[in-house]
Amino acid sequence: MNTGHFLFRLFFTGLVVFCTFRCTNYSTTASVQAPPTLISIVNNGNSNFILKVRAQNPEFIFQGYRIYSGTTEALAQNPPDLNLGAECFLAQAAIVQPIEYTFEVDPSTNPNTAGVSCRIFTTLITGTYISMRTLGLSVNLQDSTRTFRVSIPSNTLIVP
């Protein structure tokens, strides 16, 4: 075995052990995600809507978006339970790049239409309000649990 390779592996192993047991300089404050901006919503017929959204995915913990609907603007932006919305996970999203997304909101399990970033499987009702929030991954280092942390709400649009 090469001595240089052995010493490098020994140093790296020692560094990992040191960081695991001695490094306590990490933040317990959750990162704040920026909310998206809803641009437009168009009815394509048959409960199928195209939603244009402008957003920036600021960190590697970015996971996607969650859409909420309600009979009033306040209910769409502040639902009683933040877990009740429909998600869209964007695995291939560009980090730290402002981008305009095209979402297809449709309750069916059809594949995405060409040019659509993501399909959100939910039903929207004409005349209701919609809002979105950014989903970020939140990891508790003490018990190794993972949850989603949601941003503040976006603006609202009325479903046509």
User: Per-domain residue ranges for the chain?
Assistant: 37-158
Neighbours of 19 (CB within 10 A): 9
The predicted-structure confidence for 111-140, as pLDDT tens digits, reads as follows 777 888 888 999 999 999 999 998 887 666
pLDDT given for residue 130 in this prediction: 97
Alpha-carbon gap, residue 68 to 66, rounded angstroms: 7
pLDDT tens-digit readout, 52-63? 999 876 566 778
Q: What is the pLDDT of residue 143?
A: 66
More confident residue, 65 or 114: 65
Identify the architecture of domain 37-158 in CATH: Sandwich (2.60)
What is the rounded distance in angstroms from the CA atom of residue 42 to the CA atom of residue 160?
7
